[in-house]
Amino acid sequence: MKRLAVYCGSATPADPVYIEAARHVGRSLAKRGIGVVYGGGKLGLMGAVADSALAAGGEVIGIIPQALVNAEVAHQGLTELHVVETMHERKARFTELSDGFVTIPGGTGTMDELWEAMSWAQLGYHTDPVGLLNIAGYYDHLIAFVAKMGEVGFLRPQHQQLLIVDDTLEGLLDKMASHEPAVPIVRMTRADL
């Protein structure tokens, strides 16, 4: 994995565990020689990931819609900053430029990015690992919901391991490195569906 898309929030929660974890992610990826592709913002967890990776000598590529540049939230000190017109373009560029996806805490935008990465893996639009870093139990309920989708039958058995989860970045990256792509829906037979 040469580059990972890091999905996270642009907010800074009151509990410092989240911002510290974001800094750890940025630093650790840079130290491993893994470039960061992220939303291009300077605020919150997004800014913490970027600044920490840059401070550790890492490559950081931001992808941001023009509307957010206009709102003056773009990080101007990145290795590269790609300005796009829409959120759809932004997410497509994440996939084009990355070898996998790591989601750390965030809100609705972060969830949108995570679900699209999972959906595209399920459909076969990419074969990259989709990781979820469960910092301080933030995603416990989401992990349970993904399991529930499988129990009920909305997530096929072949896709129940698409979301790679760990409580530590090191453990998550190790799991992602040994990722085996699932059989995509487009290559399944009617009996599998």
Residue 99 lies in a domain: yes
Rounded CA gap, 187 and 182, in Å?
A: 10
**Residue 193 is assigned to a structural domain of this protein:** no
Alpha carbons within 13 A on the beta-carbon side of 167? 5
Q: Is residue 192 part of a domain?
A: no
In angstroms, the CA 32 to CA 121 distance is: 25
What would the pLDDT profile of 10-46 be if each residue is shown by its tens digit? 999 999 999 999 999 999 999 999 999 999 999 999 9
CATH number of the structural domain spanning residue 109: 3.40.50.450
What would the two tokens of residue 96 be? 């084009």
pTM strictly above 0.75: yes
Query: Is the predicted pLDDT of residue 185 greater than 90, yes or no?
Result: no
**CB–CB of 22/119 below 8 Å?**
no
The parent domain of residue 63 ranges over 3-187
Residue 143 C-beta-side C-alpha neighbours within 13 Å: 15
Number of independent structural domains in the chain: 1
Q: Is the pLDDT of residue 142 over 90?
A: yes
